[in-house]
Structure 1
Amino acid sequence: MVVTDMDGTLLNSQHEVSNRFFELFQALKEKNILFVAASGRQYDSMVAKLEAIKDDIIFVAENGALVKKKNHTLCSTPLEHQYIKQVLDLISPIPNAHPVLCGANTAYVNGASLAFIELLKEYYTAFSPVTDQYAVHGEIMKIAVYHDESSERNIYPQVAHLEDKLKVKVSGAHWIDISHPDAHKGHALAKLMQTYGVGSHELLVFGDYNNDLEMLELAQFSVAMENAHQNVKKTAKYHTTSNDDLGVERVLEKLLRS
């Protein structure tokens, strides 16, 4: 099984998947190697990037809160509703912070933040502007918060105390994700390994940020991108080139040659 993060890993800085990857995927498929895309993105946004192979792969979306194959839900771990108001109360006073309530089928964003909505279109293909996020009902997979400057410096210190009851992950330079304690990529991947009978010695995992740490720890073959966070570089057993220098593709070529 090959598992890769999306942004900063499989996707280049222009948020594109290379043609070379799609060629290598066909070779993996011919050798009966399962492929899993694991991302903080919503499911629809992941599918949009991997449309050509969407029926042949497994999607771990929303940082592990939602796992789907051929549009069929394999695993769902929503955030308990009691925490949504608490998180929104903590985020609201932070300047330049934009919370996104991520449902299974759509995301709910403050409709007054027009500039942020334009930015959001890269990461969310299905979203609904609302006037009051407190009034949103239904299952929420996670709360993603974007900060204009740095999520690690400006948001994490304000929500770090929630880590005793929730999963709090800095998932990118501008993003932090807050979810159910079991809603992380490692938990989702462990379930997939059990379902498909894949051992750690049969697992190749790529990542670049802190929300990839748990799944990297499961693999005998864990790979950090050159552009990865230092925590990822310390955790991964191997390193590759950056996401702009075909880092994932270079390792897959070696795997296929072996």
Structure 2
Amino acid sequence: MDLSHIKMVVSDMDGTLLNSNHEVSQRFFEIFKELQKRNITFVAASGRQYHSMVDKLDSIKDEIIVIAENGALVKQQENVLLTTPIHKSEVNRILETLVPLENVHPVLCCQNNAFVGSDSDAFITMLKEYYSEFRIVEDRANVDEEVLKIAIYHFESSEKYIYPAVKHLENELKVKVSGANWVDVSDMNAHKGYALQKVMEQHNIAPHEVMVFGDYNNDLEMLELSEYSFAMANAHPNVLKAAKFKTLSNNEFGVERVLEKLL
């Protein structure tokens, strides 16, 4: 495997760069310094909120590109490079679709904030891991900010309890099972692949010059853009099938091991 042409490294966060305790390793930050010396750009790509992502990567946040909200928002430092919001009418349609479902928790993800209901203290406690900035509102339908994504949570299984109810929206919207407990619904172009394609175009990066790591279905489109796509050992079967290469799990420094070979 010839990695000498790599100019950009792109990594998902949860289940990929983050371990099971939602931590970035000190080992990665040391590797990042070496990537910088070689003028290799690092891109963090996640379904997480921008603020949550930069909290995890605080010491390097001004030196990386951030693809947040599954590609609906791209920022570099404080510069917004891309936003792909959901039309207001579609936001209302998605919320109406969720009304009959039990024990599901929608989050309206906006550029600077997220909006949730007050129906579950346990959900609010869990949410703090993924959202640094959020507000509790009585009626999400009254939120007047531009919505980039609706993230929907179920404590047991997103594939079993959420996805079947929103699958019919796939003709007009991007519907992604983005984690064991999450389904994300966004504009058809709001996905990591579209966002990464724009970033690659801006930096004149070819498929053989970018390395991509992922573990879940919301990573599939960006994995397709790279000749060096890596699935984590803990990845969803769809990702293991789609990626060209496989690395160790997120708890075994899977990303770091490959980057050490790159260096």
> Do the two structures share a fold, i.e. TM-score over 0.5?
yes
Cα shift at 1:96 = 1.3
| Partner AA of 1:65 in structure 2 | A
Out of 186, 191, 194, which is 2:193 matched to?
186
Match of 1:72 in 2: 79
| Partner AA of 1:179 in structure 2 | S
Q: TM-score, normalised by structure 2?
A: 0.97
Give the 4+ runs in structure 1 shifted more than 6 A: none
The 1-side partners of 2:140 and 2:154 are apart by 17
Within 5 Å, give how 1:78-117 maps onto structure 2: 78-117=85-124
Structure 1 residue 19 corresponds to structure 2 residue 26: yes
Match of 1:215 in 2: 222
The 1-side partners of 2:136 and 2:120 are apart by 9
Structure 2, unaligned stretches of length 5 or more? 1-7
Match of 2:246 in 1: 239
Give 3-state SS (helix, strand or coil) of 1:60's partner.
strand
Percent identity reads 60
Paired positions, count? 256
Structure 1, unaligned stretches of length 5 or more? none
Cα shift at 1:112 = 3.0
| Partner AA of 1:184 in structure 2 | H
The 2-side partners of 1:117 and 1:71 are apart by 28
Q: TM-score, normalised by structure 1?
A: 0.98
The 2-side partners of 1:13 and 1:230 are apart by 19
The 2-side partners of 1:9 and 1:114 are apart by 28
Query: Which shifted more, 76-85 or 30-39?
Result: 76-85
Cα shift at 1:92 = 2.0
Structure 1 residue 141 corresponds to structure 2 residue 153: no
Match of 1:119 in 2: 126
Cα shift at 1:111 = 2.0
Structure 1 residue 255 corresponds to structure 2 residue 252: no
Give 3-state SS (helix, strand or coil) of 1:126's partner.
coil
Structure 1 residues 110-169: Cα deviation after superposition (integer angstroms, max 9, x where no partner): 023221111000000000000111111120000000011100111111111111100000
* Aligned-residue RMSD, C-alpha: 0.6
Match of 2:210 in 1: 203
